[in-house]
Amino acid sequence: MSKTALLFAGQGAQVIGMGKDLAEKFPSAKAWFDRANTALGYDLAKICFEGPEAELTKTENAQPGIFLVSWVCFQLLKEQNPNLKFAATAGLSLGEFTALTAAGAMSFEDGLRVVRQRGKFMQEACDATKGGMAAIIGLDENLTREVCAEAGVVLANLNCPGQLVISGAAEKISLACELAKGRGAKRALPLAVAGAYHSPLMASAQPKLGAELAKVNLISPVVPVISNVTAQAHGSPTEISAKLVEQVCASVRWEESMRALLAQGFTRFIELGPGTALSGFMKRIDKTATMLNVADAASLEATVKALA
Domain boundary among 161, 190, 219: 190
Helix, coil or strand: residue 268: strand
Q: Which of 167, 190, 213 is the last residue of a domain?
A: 190
Question: In terms of domains, do 18 and 123 share one?
Answer: yes
For residue 94, give the amino acid letter. L
Residue 39 shares a structural domain with residue 181 = no
The model's confidence at residue 1, banded by pLDDT at 50, 70 and 90, is: low
Nearest residue to 215 (alpha-carbon basis) of 241, 233, 250 = 241
Nearest of 102, 91, 97 to residue 116 by alpha carbon:
97
Position 47 in a domain: yes
* Mean pLDDT, all residues of the chain: 97
Same domain? 112 vs 248: yes
Residues 174 and 212 in one domain: no
pLDDT of residue 288: 97
- Residue 225 and residue 126: Cα distance in Å, rounded? 28
Q: What is the CATH number of the domain that holds 260?
A: 3.40.366.10
Q: What is the pLDDT of residue 125?
A: 96
Q: Identify whether residues 12 and 95 lie together within a single domain.
A: yes
> 52 and 149 share a domain?
no
Residue 2: per-residue pLDDT = 83
State how many domains the chain has.
2
Parent domain of 184: 130-190
Query: In this structure, are residues 74 and 95 in contact, taking their beta carbons and an 8 Å threshold?
Result: no
Domain check: are 109 and 138 in the same one? Answer: no
- The yes-or-no verdict on residue 244 having pLDDT over 80 is yes
Per-residue burial over 268-279, b if 16 or more Cβ lie within 10 Å, else e, is bbbbbbbbbbbb
Strand intervals (E) in the chain: 3-8, 88-91, 131-137, 154-160, 163-169, 187-190, 266-272, 290-294
* Per-residue pLDDT tens over the stretch 180-214: 999 999 999 999 888 999 999 999 999 999 999 99
Q: Per-residue DSSP letters for 12-23? A: T---TTTTHHHH
Q: Kindly state whether residues 70 and 173 are assigned to the same domain.
A: no
Residue 182 covered by a domain: yes
Last residue of a domain, one of 190, 219, 240: 190
Q: State pLDDT tens for residues 272-292.
A: 999 999 999 999 999 999 999
* CA atoms of 276 and 299, how far apart (whole Å): 11
Q: Are residues 277 and 15 in contact, defined by beta-carbon separation less than 8 angstroms?
A: no
pLDDT tens per residue, range 52-86: 999 999 999 999 999 999 999 999 999 999 999 99
Q: Do residues 170 and 239 both lie within one domain?
A: no
**What are 133-177's pLDDT values in tens digits?**
999 999 999 999 999 999 999 999 999 999 999 999 999 999 999
Instruction: Say if residue 113 is in the same domain as residue 135.
Output: no
The residues that are catalytic are 93, 198
DSSP per-residue codes, 218-261: ----SS-BB-TTTSSB--SHHHHHHHHHHHTTS-B-HHHHHHHH
* One domain, residues 143 and 123: no
Say which CATH number the domain at 153 has. Answer: 3.30.70.250
> Do 228 and 295 have their domain in common?
yes
Please check whether residue 195 lies inside any domain of the structure. Answer: no
